[in-house]
Amino acid sequence: MDPLDFLAVANKLYSSSEEAERRTSVGRSYFALFNHVRRKIEPLRPVPTSDEAHRAVVYYLQHANDRDLSSVGQTLTNLRASRNGADYQLDDVVTDKDSGMAISIARKAVAKLDGVGNTALANAVRAVPQFQARRHNPGRS
């Protein structure tokens, strides 16, 4: 599946009269961008299969010493916060403006990432030290 197909789903839902669909649109926008980035990074650097994958892709982008990649990393961080808000802050209203903005931001970030080019992306990401996932210690707080 092409991760960018999630943007088509987000676009169908963003102006819905049902708030749950607008919230879903925000989430699909985030996951379109996240999975698009992940697919580009995985051949270059290991990405965890756990929830640490979200941190890992942002880490590689923000440490790649490239302004456009860093910007895409920040966009991912911001869209993840919007997605979390849409999923968990149920007392906050998500409007069609909110969901439409998430789609627009995701599309612009995809274009920015794709504009970097595969060779420049590979060189930048390979220069970053490997991501280290947090170790979980169940017995410690």
The pLDDT of residue 141 is 42
State the pTM of this model. 0.91
Based on the structure, what is the number of domains in the chain?
A: 1
User: Which H, E and C letters describe 33-46, residue by residue?
Assistant: HHHHHHHHHCCCCC
pLDDT along the chain (141 residues), means of 10: 97 96 98 97 92 94 94 97 97 96 98 94 90 61 42
Two structure tokens written together for 5 = 């197909």
The verdict on residue 38 lying in a domain is yes
Tell me the CATH number at 113: 1.20.120
The verdict on residue 15 lying in a domain is yes
The pLDDT of residue 135 is 58
The verdict on residue 115 lying in a domain is yes
Query: Strands (DSSP E) along the chain, which ranges?
Result: none
Q: Which domain holds residue 46?
A: 5-126
Rounded-to-integer distance, Cα 102 and Cα 27, Å: 9
